[in-house]
């Protein structure tokens, strides 16, 4: 699985800065997304991870720098589960069909559209749930439903905001495998995560963000105590287990020892 991106570019940010009101969230960020990319954006809360996704998606304009997108590039976005109003009156079928706003003018789904939705739900392991209200799904099923909605557009680039936030370990594994399969099929993926061990360490390419890009590279190059301290502003230890990087908080005992020294 490659992920650093060497194929043709889909989106390119050069020297981009972004802010909300007067609060600068990102400054001088350059980030290129290629056709074969699979990147995790890591950083603490408020580091600008979601803002970076918004700049890629064109739902936010930068205050400086330039953004280039491949003409006609198809992008899909999966938001954080926490931002969704789960009480909204829609069924899974209605929700997955939402991106189909062009072509068919009629409100109701055609037979072909229904078959398409059933097929993608089946592929994601939630076939048979099309008639359920979205609130009646588990966290993992809700994530898959949004993935199904994103895939219905047949995207070249899939952007996901904290896809494993609030889901259990088994679902996290399933989501990771699913994303790996999609990447193998040629979908470029950029996701944000603050889960270093469960998510970031398994990805082929990482970008550490904290108001700017702190580091960029393979997990072996990026998941180091020095980079993590610059990214998260906290000391962490990095262990090696079966060739994988494992991050642990600095132990309370060592903090106490340092405090006494």
Partner 1 sequence: MDTLLAPLEFAFFQKGLLVATLSGALLGLIGVYIVLRGMSYIGHGLSHSIFGGFAVAQLFAAQFYVLGAGLWGIASALAITVVVKKSRVGADAAIGVITIASFALGVALFAKFGSSGPSFDNALFGSILGISTVQIVGLVAVSLLTGAFIFLKYRALLFSTFDPEVAAVSGVRVTRIEAALMIVLSLAILATLTVIGVTLVAAMLVIPAVIARMLTDSFGRMLALSTAVGAACGLVGMYLSYYAGVPSGTMIVLVGAAVFVAVLAFTGGRGLRRSAGLDAHSEDLLAEPAAR
Query: Measured from the CB atom, is 152 or 245 closer to partner 1?
Result: 152
Query: Measured from the CB atom, is 105 or 111 closer to partner 1?
Result: 105
Query: Measured from the CB atom, is 2 or 110 closer to partner 1?
Result: 110
From the CB of 83, what's the least distance to partner 1, in Å?
7
Residues at the contact surface with partner 1, assessed by CB under 8 A: 20-21, 23, 25, 45-46, 48-51, 54, 57-60, 75-77, 79, 83-85, 87-91, 94-95, 97-102, 105-108, 133, 135, 149, 153
Query: Measured from the CB atom, is 204 or 232 closer to partner 1?
Result: 232
From the CB of 252, what's the least distance to partner 1, in Å?
29
Q: Whose CA is closest to 145, among 98, 195, 185?
A: 98
Nearest-10 crossing angle of helices 169-184, 139-151: 10
Contact 32, 44 (CB under 8 A): no
Contact 146, 137 (CB under 8 A): no
Give the strands of the sheet with 38-42, arranged side by side.
75-78, 157-161, 188-193, 38-42, 205-209, 213-217
CA distance 28 to 25: 10
From the CB of 100, what's the least distance to partner 1, in Å?
6
Query: Measured from the CB atom, is 204 or 214 closer to partner 1?
Result: 214
The one-character DSSP state at 235 is: -
From the CB of 214, what's the least distance to partner 1, in Å?
17
From the CB of 179, what's the least distance to partner 1, in Å?
18
């Amino acid at each position: 699985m490659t992920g650093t991106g060497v194929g043709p570019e889909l989106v390119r940010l050069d020297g981009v800065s972004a802010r909300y009101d007067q609060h600068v969230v990102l400054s001088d960020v350059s980030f290129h997304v290629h056709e074969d990319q699979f990147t995790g954006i890591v950083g603490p809360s408020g580091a600008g991870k979601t803002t970076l996704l918004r700049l890629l998606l064109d739902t936010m304009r930068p205050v400086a720098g330039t953004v280039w997108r491949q003409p006609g590039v198809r992008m899909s976005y999966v938001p954080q589960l926490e931002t969704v109003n789960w009480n909204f009156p829609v069924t899974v079928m209605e929700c997955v069909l939402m991106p189909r706003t062009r072509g068919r003018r009629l409100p109701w789904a055609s037979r072909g559209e229904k078959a398409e939705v059933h097929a993608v739900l089946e592929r994601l392991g939630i076939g048979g749930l099309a008639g359920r209200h979205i609130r009646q799904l588990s966290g993992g099923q809700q994530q898959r439903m949004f993935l199904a909605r994103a895939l219905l557009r047949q995207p070249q680039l899939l952007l996901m905001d904290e896809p494993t936030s609030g889901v259990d370990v088994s679902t996290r594994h399933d989501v990771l495998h699913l994303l790996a399969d999609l990447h193998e099929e040629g979908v470029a993926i950029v996701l944000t995560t603050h889960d270093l061990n469960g998510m970031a360490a398994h990805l082929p390419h990482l970008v550490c963000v904290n108001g700017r890009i702190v580091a960029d590279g393979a997990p072996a190059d990026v998941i180091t105590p020095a980079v993590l301290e610059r990214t998260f502003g906290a000391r962490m230890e990095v262990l090696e287990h079966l060739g994988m990087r494992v991050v642990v908080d600095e132990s309370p005992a060592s903090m106490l020892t340092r405090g006494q020294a």
